[in-house]
Chains A and B, each alone.
Chain A
Amino acid sequence: MAEILFYWSALAAYVGSAIGYIGGLAFDRRRFRVAGKTLAVAGCLLHGVALLLRWAAVGHGPYISTYEILSSSAWVAVFFFVLLEWRQGQWANLGAGVMPLAFLLMGFALFGSREAKMLPPTLRSAWLVVHVIFAKLAVASLLVAVAMAIFFLLKRSRPAAGGYLARLPSAAVLDDQGYRLVVFGFICLTVMIVSGAIWAHNSWGQYWSWDSAQTWSLVVWLVYGLFLHGRITFRWQGTVSAWYVIAAFFFSLLAFFVLPYFVKGLHSQYMVG
């Protein structure tokens, strides 16, 4: 009961925060942005408490059922954004995209079953927690990199535009920060694959089994590895880099979320709840 109360409070705070950020972007009022930020932080805290209560009630982390996966993904996205805004204030306008996405995810989560799933012993591992956290961080950072790539393309196509585009950092800095986020996502992806391999070794005595989802994740790693290589070898930057980041993200969505939904391999139950 307490968990759902915190959950709904967080959802309400996220809705308020989204209105604040969108208002800040549309009317260029600082007051709106401050309200958006305050509500995002409050929502993140309330949401964190809801997740902890859920953890205590079901005896495992929030990564088994659809409700838990979507809810924790929304929390990671908001946490990541709050952290980014705290460190680099110029990214505040990104809240207009992140906060609506967060409350939509939470809304979708409520459509899933809230029933506590029975946890098989293979899933009781500290490595699973590491694996899941870094998977979420990878997706969150690569998603924000996509947002930066889109802003870069918009800014590049209309260099003299005013409004919200003028309030964003320069195109060169957007490109640079997007690159930095892809690097962070790539490292998280690496930790995700490595921790998965260690967990598989502990569970089944085999660190790599060429399972379909496992192999696709390696392909995603190589796709982003090629991007980093291309940035050094061919000096990819600007438009080429932005389009690559967008295409690579859609490919990773296909590999991580769409394919495991249809192809029932070892990962299906964990990845689509």
Chain B
Amino acid sequence: MKKREKYQETILSVLASLRFSFVLLLLLGLLVAQRAIIAQKFLYLENPPWFIRAMNGLGLDSPEPLTIPFYGLLALLMVNLGLASRKMVQRIRAKQRSVRGMRDMASIRALPAHAEFAVATAGVELLSAFFKRKGIRATRETGGGETSFCGEKRGLGHWGVLFFHLSFFVILAGALLSVLTRYAGLFDLAIGETFVEARGNYAHVTAPPLLFAGDRKFALRLEGIDLSYWKPGALRQNASTVRVWDANGVLLGQRDLAINSPLRIDGVDIYQGSRAGFIAGLEAADSAGTKALGRVKFFLPAKAEEKMVSRVMLPGTTLVLDLELFTDMLGGIGGLEALGARHENKVSLLKVTVVGDHRIFSGVIFGGGSLNVEGITLRFVSLTPFTSFFAARDYGVPVIFGGFALLILGLLITYFWVPEQYWAVVRQEEGRERIVAGAVTEKFRESFKERFAEEMQMLASGGRGAGIDG
């Protein structure tokens, strides 16, 4: 039984050790580097230099084999951080207790930063003033011809590493919440169209999340698009104005959203998407009078020579329509005036090529006009600008960002709010007062030692002209 307990104790001590966390971090670094190589491997490179080819040779072909080791490492890291944090709290408490205790002259002399000097009189007042000036909360004890001091500065600094460790728990809790609650979807809206938040209404949507998967049912209608380019393909501004209703149909008002300025509705963030263009309303009617209305999307050209084309299949037939859009509306978009000029007719028209059963037919439909082909009447009923949106719901994000803030705070406290502990003894000796003072700190010890020596030198010279003895 005792042997078992000993094993358990050894395992726990290894799991909580700093060496173990160092190894875990090293392995994590190697896994992340592997991810970086995989990411760069998939980017097209024209004549990559030898060192990139060599690096890519070290990378796997897919990140999938890394998933289990990555999560395994994270789990072990959490165990290590948890156990280490427990140990750390015990150590901090012990340190706090030790600082409250006085030290004798011999033990102060053993400290790496210490000084010894004598003053003619008022050594106690001199040290009290020094501690006060430095913002050190010092306590004093007198007895046996001696006055002892002990004090601490920046005591909160002891907790910095714990904050730092806790931040990883918060970040990982946020990441877990993210995995459980995140979903994202894309949708396009033409001016005047309304989108109701429900899984079925997205053009593309990720798998439903495990938690809070219900539709939010709020609605937004696109009222206006503010789109302009520096030149074709170089976006200058992309913003939209929408009118928003809550799930009960209550109008929440008109809102603006733009790139870098998403809109939050009922926990869902709506981002301005990058796709934009026109939606043509096309009505197809057969000889029996059956009608079908379709929306055909045309994306804005990124280059002067690029055409606005789309391909659709007529429902219930084997006919495929190859469509090319010409519209003077293109010239109305800032920065695309030159492209609009190419569309000489200055009206909206569709050039139609119908392909079906080895027959090809070409024709043109003007806006509001129609075209008969293979017994089907095609009508070009509308043309409206559209823009795209990206919606994401992720309850983990604020937790993750909170963890980041804690991480930075922990680092700042750990390294720039470093605790300093001071001890001093003043002893009456042959009409003079001997002062022995010492201090310890946890980080940047050499600079601290140098600074402490300078301070003691100043104190000694201020103390009736005496000098440092040791």
Contact = CB atoms under 8 A, between A and B. Distances in A.
Interface residues of A, number: 53
Contact of A202 (B26, B231, B260, B446): B260
Interface string B390-420: 1110000100110010011001100110000
B260 A122 contact: yes
B184 interface: yes
Interface residues on B, range: 35 or more
A158 interface: no
Interface stretch (B31-39, B315-323, B429-437): B31-39
Contact of B408 (A190, A210, A229): A190
A169 B446 CA distance: 11
B262 A202 contact: yes
Contacts of B450: 169-170, 173
Q: Which of B40, B184, B261, B411 has the most CB of A within 10 A?
A: B40
Contacts of B446: 170, 172-173, 175-176
Secondary structure class of chain B's binding surface, majority of residues: helix
B231 A118 contact: yes
Contacts of A139: none
A125 B260 contact: yes
A180 B407 contact: no
A175 B18 CA distance: 22
Nearest to B17: A233
B11 interface: no
Contacts of B407: 190, 194
Q: Which of A121, A197, A259, A264 has the most CB of B within 10 A?
A: A121
Given A226-B22, A229-B21, A203 B260 contact: yes
Contacts, number: 133
A124 interface: yes
Contacts of A226: 22, 25-26, 29
Contacts of B445: 176
Contacts of A264: 43, 45
Given A218-B32, A226-B29, 19 more contacts: A120-B236, A121-B236, A122-B260, A173-B447, A175-B446, A187-B411, A198-B401, A203-B260, A204-B271, A205-B269, A207-B397, A215-B32, A219-B33, A226-B25, A232-B18, A233-B22, A263-B45, A264-B43, A264-B45
Interface of B: 18-19, 21-22, 25-26, 28-29, 32-33, 35-36, 39-40, 43, 45, 48-49, 52, 63, 184, 230-231, 234-238, 258-262, 269, 271, 390-392, 397, 400-401, 404, 407-408, 411-412, 415-416, 444-447, 450
State the 8 A-B residue pairs at the shortest beta-carbon distance, nearest first: A118-B230, A215-B36, A222-B29, A176-B446, A121-B259, A205-B392, A212-B39, A212-B40
23 contacts: A120-B234, A122-B259, A122-B260, A176-B446, A180-B447, A183-B411, A183-B415, A187-B412, A194-B408, A197-B401, A202-B260, A203-B259, A203-B271, A210-B39, A212-B39, A216-B33, A225-B25, A229-B18, A229-B25, A262-B45, A262-B52, A265-B39, A265-B40
